[in-house]
Every structure is written in C-alpha cells, then in structure tokens.
C-alpha cells in the first residue's frame, strides 16, 4: 500500500513555527496532504494513530563521522545508519576525516556506494577541502562536487595558511560550493583539553581561551568579505563570537553557523573528575557561554544544531584526560538531549526543529525539513515526555562514548520514516 494516513498527531511545523494537532497523508514517499483535522479519514490508506504524540520533519545532521574507510571498528555506515534511525535522524551529512581522508572522487564514490548499500537513512557525503586535510593544497573541488560532495571541510583541522584558504574559498565561490570550517585559532588551541578559567586551573589541565574561537571566526569573516564564498561555521560555542557572527550576517555575507548538542546541554564543570567522555573539540564552555549560545539558537543567529557525532573506541578514551581522544557519539541521543532545552522552557519545539531540520535542509538545498505537501516523507514521531535512563550499552553505534551514560532523560523516538518507509527497527 503506497498511501498512509498519520492521524491524531501533534504536528511540529518549523516553517510556520506552529505546534498543533492534525494529520498527514503520505503517498509514494512524499507528503501529499496536510490536514487540520486530527481524526481525519482518507480512503484506501493505511492508518497510523499517532495518539497525540509529536510528528516532525526528520533531523538532518551535518557533521557526522562514520569511520569508513580506515576505522570501521569504531563506526560503520550500517551502525551509524541504525543509530540515526533510532534517534529520529533521517539524513546524515558525513565528514571526510577518515583514513585515508575523502579527498578524491574515487574515495567519495566508494563511500557513497557503501552508504547506499548499508545505511537505512539518507547519507550525504562531504569531501576534504585540502588534500589529506593537510592545509597545503586544495582538492579537486569541481570533480568532487560532480561525484556528489555536498560540502567541503577539513573538519577539526583549521587551514592555517590564509593564502591557501583564500584560494579554496575563491574556487568554491566559482562553483557555488559550500565550505564548512572549524573556527578555533589553531596555534592558541594546540594541545588544549579544556576552556581556560578557574576550573581549568584547579584541575591543572591545559586550556584555551574562548577568544581563540573569536579570532578564528574573525579571520574567516575577513576572507568571506574578499571572496563572497558560501560558508558555514561548524560550531559556535562562545558568547565572544556571537557579535562577529551577527555583523557578518547583517553585512550580507553568505554565512551560517552551527552548534553541537553537547555544547547546548553541558558545560565545563561536567568534566569534573577528569571524565574523558566529556572531552570534546572545542572543549565544553562556561555556563554563561552555554546560555548565550542557546539564546542565539532561539533567535536564529545560530542556524543549525548538529550532533558532531564522533565515535571513539574504549582504548582511545580510557587514558589520562590530556591524552584521551576528543569527541562523543550523538546520533541516538540527539533528540532527548536537545529536548532538555524544551523541558527547561528555553526553546520551543518548532524553533528546535527549525535548527535541526529546516535550516540544514535550506543550507544544503534539500526539499526535506518541512511539513508541507510535496516534501519528502522523512519524518519522526516522538513522545517528548517519556522518561528513561540512558544505558550506553544499548546504543546502536559501535562506539559507546556518550557523556549521557546513566543520566535521566526525556523524549523517546517512536517511529522514523525515510521516504515513507519505517526504518525505526531496520536491524530486525
């Protein structure tokens, strides 16, 4: 049966910024109608009663690391896809920081083929901006774009050579290609494990000033003024960087910004007893920074929320804090973690899904991320109030490095649909 009626749903519309009861009709993989009646009736359709739970566009997650090729023991396209489906993420935009880096059309085609074969959700690959992510010579952006790259990034390696970065931005501009950058000033940030301040001093850990982020963003904005390129800052995590971002947008630059879910829901004090699952890049910030960034998301200054899903095995995390690898998994914890902001009255659901679904779709030129007729039926049905205690052992990701292990959370995904197909339990 190709027609499906999702009735009695609490429709979360990130375009109209509304949250109200209604029904959706899905036909041939797309939304064919949006009905105001909660108890609607449609002839010859499979009926699913959503029982008043929330129905929203599927999450589009920019910046997911899948460790193929090179470190498949950390995460494969199969395990990442299952984690995404369980977490309400219908599209993952993958990073090129693999071994080797995704910097040639051949490597990109291999990755795309594996993703298409193994992942139950949509996978859109990004490619490296410079060869080997070494910051010395830009990749063949045009050929990589033709092979399917949706963006270009060296991930957490900053292109320190301003001349190289300027050339790459200029070339990307000529091809209308999106460049995604990590905005930490690399010299100040080198070797840092936490954000500088009294807490870092008490812990005796190497630290970096929040100004390193502001310096990195200021440099990139200057280059954007020169080149006019299409640019996205992967994570803006400090209050100091927000005025520069606001000015750049006001001046008409083609710039957007994101923030990871962990920087929205945790702060520097969570490092506590040197717990390495809380070691991230950039490091967790002060509570004042966290609240400033939350306000920026609510106001639309920061456009996109992402998971920055970074799987690490036990061996790379069970080390002294300074030596441990950075990063945390986030695909499956994305929605319940971000719902903390909703439950605390900081951001409403339509604005959250504007940042998690609509704005990523707009930045990438996708039709998804919307509850409108004609949009792909990439949807998530969830109960925002369902409580649970997270057990990292139950995560679908191969790596279990989540900072939320053992924490009480609220918000369970009930169903995830990709092009109208239920992929929630794709592993069964």
The reply to whether 101 falls in a domain is yes
> pLDDT tier at 109 (50, 70, 90 boundaries)?
very high
Model confidence over 120-179: pLDDT tens digits? Answer: 999 999 999 999 999 999 999 999 999 999 999 999 999 999 999 999 999 999 999 999
End-to-end C-alpha distance for the chain, whole angstroms: 21
In 95-202, DSSP assigns E strands to 122-125, 178-181, 194-195
pLDDT at 1 > cutoff 80: no
In a domain, 233, yes or no: yes
Per-residue pLDDT, 425: 82
Query: Does residue 345 fall inside a structural domain?
Result: yes
Residue 427 has pLDDT above 90, yes or no: no
Say what the pLDDT of residue 272 is: 82
Residue 323: inside a domain, yes or no?
yes
Structure token pair of residue 145 = 């774009």
Indicate whether 426 pLDDT > 80: no
Q: Is 79 exposed, middle or buried (0-12, 13-18, 19+ CB in 10 A)?
A: buried
| Residue 336 confidence (pLDDT) | 98
Mean pLDDT of the chain: 96
* Residue 2: pLDDT over 90: no
- Domain of residue 179, CATH code: 3.20.20.140
Query: How far is residue 183's CA from residue 153's CA, in Å, rounded to a whole number?
Result: 12
Q: Are 384 and 342 in contact, with CB atoms under 8 Å apart?
A: yes
Asked, for residue 410, whether it belongs to a domain, the answer is no
Give the separation between CA 206 and CA 200, rounded to whole angstroms: 7
β-pair type (255-260, 230-233): parallel
How many angstroms separate the Cα of 343 from the Cα of each of 10, 26, 84, 340, 347?
A: 16, 30, 22, 5, 8
3-class SS letters over 184-207: CCHHHHCCCCEECCHHHHHHCCCE
Give the tens place of pLDDT for each residue, 48-78. Answer: 999 999 999 999 999 999 999 999 999 999 9
Q: How many structural domains are present in the chain?
A: 1
Residue 273, burial from CB neighbour count under 10 angstroms (0-12, 13-18, 19+): exposed
Write phi, then psi, for 368 (nearest 5 degrees).
Answer: -75, -175
- The closest of 61, 80, 123, 130 to 102, measured between CA atoms, is 130
Rounded distance, CA 253 to CA 270, Å? 36
What secondary structure does DSSP assign to 227-258, as a single string? H--EEEES----GGGHHHHHHHHHTT--EEEE
Mean per-residue pLDDT, 76-98: 98
232 assigned to some structural domain: yes
pLDDT in tens, 301-355: 999 999 999 999 999 999 999 999 999 999 999 999 999 999 999 999 999 999 9
Range of the domain at 268: 58-364
For the stretch 349-369, pLDDT in tens is 999 999 999 999 999 999 999
Cα-atom radius of gyration of the chain, to the nearest Å? 21
Dist CA 250 CA 77 (whole Å): 39
């Amino acid at each position: 049966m190709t027609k499906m009626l999702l009735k009695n749903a609490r429709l979360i519309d990130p375009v109209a910024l509304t949250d109200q009861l209604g029904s959706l009709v899905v036909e041939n993989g797309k939304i064919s109608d949006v009905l105001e009646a909660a108890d609607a009736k449609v002839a010859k359709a499979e009926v699913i009663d959503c029982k008043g739970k929330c129905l929203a566009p599927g999450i589009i997650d920019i910046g997911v690391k899948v460790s193929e090729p090179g470190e498949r023991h950390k995460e494969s396209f199969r395990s990442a896809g299952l984690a995404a489906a369980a977490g309400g993420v219908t599209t993952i935009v993958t990073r090129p920081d693999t071994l080797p880096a995704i910097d040639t059309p051949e490597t990109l085609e291999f990755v795309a083929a594996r993703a298409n074969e193994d992942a139950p959700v949509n996978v859109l690959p990004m490619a490296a901006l410079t060869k080997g992510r070494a910051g010395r010579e830009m990749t063949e952006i045009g050929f990589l774009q033709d092979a399917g790259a949706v963006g270009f990034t060296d991930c957490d390696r900053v292109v320190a050579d301003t001349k190289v970065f300027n050339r790459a931005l200029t070339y990307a501009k000529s091809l209308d290609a999106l460049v995604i950058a990590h905005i930490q000033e690399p010299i100040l940030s080198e070797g840092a494990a936490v954000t500088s301040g009294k807490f870092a001093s008490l812990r005796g850990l190497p630290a970096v000033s929040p100004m390193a982020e502001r310096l990195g963003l200021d440099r990139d904005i200057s280059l954007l003024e020169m080149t006019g390129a299409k640019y996205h800052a992967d994570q803006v995590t400090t209050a100091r960087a927000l005025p520069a971002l606001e000015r750049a947008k006001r001046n008409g630059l083609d710039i957007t910004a994101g923030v990871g879910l962990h920087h929205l829901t945790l702060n520097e004090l969570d490092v506590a007893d040197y717990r390495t699952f809380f070691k991230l890049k950039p490091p967790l910030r002060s509570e004042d920074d966290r609240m400033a960034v939350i306000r920026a998301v609510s106001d639309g200054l920061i456009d996109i929320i992402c998971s920055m899903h970074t799987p690490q095995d036990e061996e790379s995390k069970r080390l002294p804090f300074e030596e441990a690898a950075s990063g945390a998994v986030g695909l499956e914890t994305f929605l319940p973690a971000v719902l903390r902001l909703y439950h605390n009255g900081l951001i409403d659901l339509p604005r959250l899904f504007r940042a998690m679904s609509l704005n990523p779709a707009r930045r990438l030129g996708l039709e998804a991320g919307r509850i409108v007729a004609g949009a792909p039926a990439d949807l998530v049905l969830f109960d925002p109030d369902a409580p649970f205690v997270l057990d990292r052992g139950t995560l679908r990701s191969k790596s279990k490095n989540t900072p939320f292990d053992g924490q009480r959370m609220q918000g369970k995904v009930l169903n995830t649909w990709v092009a109208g197909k239920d992929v929630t339990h794709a592993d069964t």
